[in-house]
Amino acid sequence: MSEQRKHFHCKDVGYDCTWELEGTSEDDMLPIIEQHAAEVHNLTHFKAEAEQHVRQAIQRNN
Ligand SMILES: [Zn+2]
């Protein structure tokens, strides 16, 4: 049984950004996305709403 790969593209949540991430679960990916958002987009407070957008963007790609 092969692993389900999940993908996140930063542009899918509205940033003019080419960064993308591949992972195996949303829960593993979220902290990495949060760190990227903080470092690159100055999004220091990753609110529940932003987390929801990220999860939806990942689900749309699978
Ligand atoms: Zn980005």
Residue 2's contacts (CB-CB under 8 Å, 6 or more residues apart) are none
Distance (angstroms) between ligand 1 centre and the Cα of 19 equals 5
pLDDT at 44: 78
Residue with the larger pLDDT of the pair 60 and 3: 60
Q: Which residues surround ligand 1, an ion (CB under 5 A)?
A: 10, 15, 17, 19, 40
Band (pLDDT 50/70/90 cuts) for residue 4 is confident
Residues 6+ positions from 60 with CB-CB distance below 8 Å: 12
Q: What is the 3-state secondary structure (H, E, C) of 10-38?
A: HHHHCCCCCCEEEECCHHHHHHHHHHHHH
pLDDT tens for 5-52 read: 999 999 999 999 999 999 999 999 999 999 999 999 998 777 788 889
